Structure 1
Amino acid sequence: MFSKIITYFTGLFTTVEHDVEAIISDFTSTVEKLEDAAAAKFAEARALADKAALTQLASDAAHEASAKAASVAAKIKDLIA
């Protein structure tokens, strides 16, 4: 009788130990997935920031070219008039 009780509690503790290990494993897996997702989003944000910087440079160059063209057009118009 006592051996059955001891066997029951030993099995119960083993089950609890395995459950705790499974929970820790699940949390570890979740943390790793979150870290991977954070790294991926950071890389995406960096790529978008780089693209935004290039777009800003292109926009500045276009504005400068527009201003030069308007200036030349105004000078030519003054010569003709």
Structure 2
Amino acid sequence: MAHYRAYLLDHDRHVISVANLQCADEQEARERAQQLVDANDIELWQLDRLIAVFEAAASRTSKTAGQGRPQRTPRPTDK
């Protein structure tokens, strides 16, 4: 089992909370992280490698309305 982290982000892209995921592979980690998306975006990481960003419906709506978001900053790792 591999260790992944799913970061729940607020509208300013700050980390609200983190979910530690033990998954058989990256595909399982992606599926589990996708399930965490609700009103906030989720970033899925394995150590210092960003795997995917899962956007909440509200963020996609604000982006299309021309309300760009700041660049994301690297998340801490558990090396």
Q: TM-score, normalised by structure 1?
A: 0.20
- Report the structure number with the largest CA radius of gyration: 1
Q: TM-score, normalised by structure 2?
A: 0.20
Q: Which has the higher helix share?
A: 1
Bigger relative contact order (CA 8 A; separation at least 6) = 2
